[in-house]
Amino acid sequence: MNDIVLNGVSKSFGEKRVLERFSHTFPGGKITVIGGASGRGKTTLLNLIAGLMKPDGGEIGGVPEKIAFVFQEDRLCEEFGALGNLRLVCGRTKTKEELLSHLRELSLADEPKKKVGEFSGGMKRRVAIARAICFDADCVLLDEPFKGLDEALKKDVMDYVLRHTAGKTVLCVTHDPAEAEYLGAEIVRID
């Protein structure tokens, strides 16, 4: 798995400079946690790596073609069930039983066809995480993925992510040092 290399990357929004000649090499096949105060460009960094934004300057290299992204907002299809939301990204590449197994791991399999719009915030978050994992991407970008999950559940969800991302490049933005420690990842601070 290639390293993701950022070399002198800058990004501004109007007058506001969010990233200023940022350089770092994110090791391929490993988890890296990105920390730092709010508004320092952590989400922007993930968006740049995902190709959803273009940098004003600098270079980004080594990004795998197949990327999964858990955004800060869940971006779920609320009219569909958890199963439907996984089908959106997987199509028929995975069997129903395989998808249900993912939902079971996240305690979501009781009502796989119940509309996601009727789910609690924590359940929606888990569906968004399952969707990213089911995509079988080479690189998984997680933007505050465990926010809103209660402590007991958070560890289960982190275990699920660790289980299914072994050997993949994972970049996880979080403000919580305990999460970073649990994930056993290298921590990069953007300050």
Partner 1 sequence: MTFISFLNNTKVRKTLSVLLALAVWQIAAAAVGSDMLLASPVRVLARLASLFREPGFFSSVLFSFLRITAGFLLAFFMGIVLGFAAGKSGAIETILWPWVVTGKTVPIASFIILCLIWMDHSGLTVLISFLIAFPVIYTNVLQGLKSTDEKKKELAALYRVPWTRRLLYIDLPAIKPYLLSASSVAVGMAWKAGVAAEVIGMVDGSIGDMLYQAKVYFQNADLLAWTVVIILVSVLSEKLFALLLKLFFRGVEKL
Chain Cα centroid distance, residue 187: 16
Rule CB under 8 A: is residue 52 a binding residue for partner 1? yes
Give the E-state strand segments of 71-155 in sequence order.
Answer: 139-143
Size of the site for partner 1 (CB under 8 A): 24
Strand order in the sheet with 4-13: 16-26, 4-13, 57-61
State the CB neighbour count (10 A cutoff) for residue 12. Answer: 14
Find the part of the chain contacting partner 1 (CB under 8 A) among 36-44, 75-83, 97-105, 155-163: 75-83
Min dist CB 35 to partner 1, Å, is 24
Rule CB under 8 A: is residue 54 a binding residue for partner 1? no
The residue among 91 and 191 lying less far from partner 1, judged by its C-beta, is: 91
What letter does residue 27 receive in the DSSP assignment? P
Candidates 14, 38, 54, 91; binder of partner 1 (CB under 8 A) is: 91
Which tokens go with 136? 């079988």
Candidates 115, 147, 155, 164; binder of partner 1 (CB under 8 A) is: 115
